[in-house]
Structure 1
């Protein structure tokens, strides 16, 4: 009887330990999930803060150019109005075209700024990095100002890169702002794309997987 009672007590203790261990594992898993969620939220908040900081930099950097676009629109409309009032409609087509071009450039710039600043979830897709970078060339030139020469070099046969295009746009733009601040006296900014193979060692150093990668490189100099 004594042996049976001892065996039963051991069985109860084992069951209690099993339940406690199960609850402990569940608690750890829950804490890990919460920590991962908090990290994701923190990273998203940091990305958004960096984007908004860049937008603030852009606001000051392109204000002068935006005024020039508006001046082109208003100036063209004033000439058209004056000529129509004088009964001289001949030749106003070029002023209409000029005003429309300035308006389209201003609208495109505004749309790019809005797309860049808004909060959105990551959506990685196969992306032509050359097309994306060349499409940003005018915006980058306006951002850094005329005292810095901007050169964009696209690699021939560049592979498609699976990235979120909006996030990739923010990288060269932020780097361009840093380059502008590092060259207050002017200089040259080169943005270059290239294909890159990563071996096992290089992949480990970058926290990535071995294989082929599209790469963007940025250089600056006085």
Structure 2
């Protein structure tokens, strides 16, 4: 949740600015590939949206796709998580955590997205997570695995099924220099990474269970 009006104003301005920019080729609608989580986050966000954050899909647009904010995804997840927690909605909290871990789109295959550094999330569970990176970018395999395992830990901490962290995974690596910038993404808005079996899991079920067991030992 972000209560400062300048932050809210900047998000609104960035959205308007995005509409005015020319269309640049990108992996759209990759942003809808995990649609089931966007739908739940949207519902949670609409319970209380003091900063007037736009639809969750805009938090997954990369800079080349018309959005020049690096923290909109985190802000959206943080507010949705806050609302779901206040409502006692574990499913909503889990969806917000997974949404925070989804890959943000970028302008070309192999280009990593910029991390959010200017704003700190109010919920430590959200603050502990960063977004998946393009699978063809440098070090993406190790980076995305670490993100998935941390996500599993945070999901378990709120009472969710840590195995759901595997659903935050992205696509198989595309070819560097692909002129379409599409890579191996899909192009329908019904959660196509699942319906077309394109999801590449970053960890094994046993590795997720090990994270869960370590968390139990700490508790």
TM-score range, shorter chain: under 0.3
Greater RCO (CA < 8 Å, at least 6 residues apart): 2
Quick check: which one's helix share is greater? 1
Quick check: which one's strand share is greater? 1
Using structure 2 for the length normalisation, give the TM-score.
Answer: 0.25
Using structure 1 for the length normalisation, give the TM-score.
Answer: 0.25
